[in-house]
């Protein structure tokens, strides 16, 4: 028998009044994949995840996890699914352990050893008796992961797991996700951070204002990425723009800081540098503006009209 998709979202729509938060989104995640949902704030990522967890109902379309849906299976749909939406929340007047014990009850109960295991996995065993009200943000994020792991999930859904963490916390969280993925879990990671998704995921869906702009592997996305912009600081920017206008294929823009940004193939950038020298324009600084993948991400998710990127 063919194994059911871990996540199968078909033509889902969700509106809040006049605002379309999610517009006809479809998404499939195969078991064993580490999948990223990437997009800026307001892209509809969290709304999509809320629909997966049954916190909100789609206006149209279907959401199935391991072949189960809310309509057919109710809360059984979440069997084998763990995760959290935005920052995980707990009862501040209970200890970390008491919170987990209570949540375990709502799952039908787990033995104490399982709670010990997950607390060790997220490095909270030493602080398990402390009240959650005294936990740092990072500790609460890790407790959220522990609460998700209590159910021994096959699918882990994490929404912005590194949000609000300091650099060390981000490193630890990514290492933890990597470790869990290495154990064979399917991970669905929602993030606005390209580097996080690039570092962690095999495949990605990029969203913007409720719509899907790209589905595919990170490797394919890298191949589609344009050459990045180059940031120029010159002795005479006006003259530098005039020189650029003589070179076909080269595009010039101005950065928010006022520097010149040149876009083109590497040979065109080389030719531009030579032309500036020939024109007597002194080059004070030249550096790549963004990594190619980052450039593509911003091209996709910013501006008035997102370009079409075929999947």
Which residues contact another protein (rule: CB under 8 A)? 50, 53-57, 74-76, 78-80, 83-86, 88-94, 98, 102-103, 105-109, 147, 151-154, 184
User: Among residues 49 and 240, whose Cβ is nearest to another protein?
Assistant: 49
User: Roughly what angle, to the nearest 10 degrees, separates helices 112-121 and 137-149?
Assistant: 140
Name the minimum Å distance from CB 81 to another protein. 8
Q: In angstroms, what is the minimal distance from the CB of 93 to another protein?
A: 5
Of 88 and 264, CB closest to another protein = 88
**Of residues 31 and 138, the one with the C-beta less far from another protein:** 31
Q: How far apart are CA 179 and CA 184, in angstroms?
A: 9
Residue closer to another protein by CB (options 86, 116) is 86
Q: Which is nearer to another protein, 117 or 220 (CB)?
A: 117
Q: Least distance (Å) from another protein to the CB of residue 138?
A: 17
CB of 63: closest distance to another protein in angstroms?
Answer: 14
Rounded least distance, CB 196 to another protein, Å: 21
**Tokens standing for 90?**
């707990």
The nearest distance, CB 114 to another protein, in angstroms, is 12
Nearer to another protein, 89 or 179 (CB): 89
Minimum distance, C-beta of residue 52 to another protein, in the bound complex (Å): 9
53 or 214: CB nearest another protein: 53
């Amino acid at each position: 028998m063919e194994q059911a998709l871990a996540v199968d979202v078909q033509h889902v729509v969700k509106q809040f009044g006049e605002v379309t938060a999610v517009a006809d989104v479809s998404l499939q995640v195969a078991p064993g994949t580490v999948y990223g949902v990437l997009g800026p704030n307001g892209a509809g990522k969290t709304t999509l995840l809320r629909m997966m967890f049954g916190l909100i109902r789609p206006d149209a379309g279907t959401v199935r996890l391991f072949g189960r849906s809310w309509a057919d299976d109710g809360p059984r749909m979440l069997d084998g699914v763990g995760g959290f939406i935005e920052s995980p929340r707990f009862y501040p007047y209970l200890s970390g352990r008491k919170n987990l014990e209570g949540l375990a009850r709502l799952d039908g109960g787990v033995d104490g050893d399982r709670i010990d295991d997950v607390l060790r996995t997220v490095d909270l065993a030493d602080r398990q008796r402390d009240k959650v009200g005294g936990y740092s943000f990072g500790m609460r994020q890790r407790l959220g992961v522990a609460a998700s792991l209590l159910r021994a999930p096959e699918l882990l859904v994490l929404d912005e797991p590194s949000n609000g963490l300091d650099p060390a916390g981000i490193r630890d969280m990514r290492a933890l996700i990597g470790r869990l993925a290495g154990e064979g879990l399917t991970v669905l990671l929602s993030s606005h951070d390209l580097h996080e998704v690039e570092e962690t995921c095999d495949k990605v869906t990029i969203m913007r204002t409720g719509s899907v702009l790209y589905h595919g592997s990170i490797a394919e996305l890298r191949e589609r990425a344009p050459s990045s912009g180059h940031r120029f600081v010159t002795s005479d920017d006006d003259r530098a723009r005039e020189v650029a206008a003589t070179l076909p294929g080269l595009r010039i823009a101005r950065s928010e800081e006022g520097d010149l940004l040149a876009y083109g193939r590497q040979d065109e950038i080389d030719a531009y540098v030579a032309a500036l020298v020939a024109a007597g324009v002194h080059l004070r600084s030249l550096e790549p503006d963004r990594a190619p993948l980052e450039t593509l991400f911003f091209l996709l998710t910013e501006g008035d009209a997102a370009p079409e990127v075929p999947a």
